[in-house]
Amino acid sequence: MVLVPVWTRSRRHAVVVGVWFALNPVVFPAPADQRAWATRAMLGEELWIVARPKDAALAVNAAATGAGLVALVAARRRRPVPAGAATVAQMLLLLVYWELMARYFEAHRDAGEGCWS
């Protein structure tokens, strides 16, 4: 979604994407439990952001950010293959990052006890 307004150079598209990003956190209810992988990944990221360890997750997150920037530049230049390849790379890196965050949550869940009731 982020690439669409860059590619089309449309303010209207940028507003739609911006509104979605603003509404997304409040549209969906809190998870009922912590069994889902995505829930554990997001809760792990909350813990990880507070602790800010210099670990593999930091490098993976930086690489995903770099891939996202490459995708934005390629979209601005209207280069579909590099934009698509960089987006795929970013998504794969984000999945690796989320797995690391889910593992971080499993290892450090006691540090956030009471935060998610």
Give percent above pLDDT 70 in the chain: 94
Residue 115 has pLDDT above 60, yes or no: no
Task: Give CA torsion, residues 36, 40, 108, 24, to 10 deg.
Answer: -150
Average pLDDT over residues 25-37: 89
- pTM of the predicted model as reported, rounded to 2 decimal places: 0.85
Rounded average pLDDT over 16-27: 92
pLDDT in the model for residue 109 = 82
Residue 88: enclosing H or E segment and its boundaries?
helix 80-108
Do 86 and 71 touch, CB atoms closer than 8 A?
yes
Mean pLDDT of the 78-82 span: 97
Q: Which residue has the tokens 């549209």?
A: 27
Of 29 and 62, more confident: 62
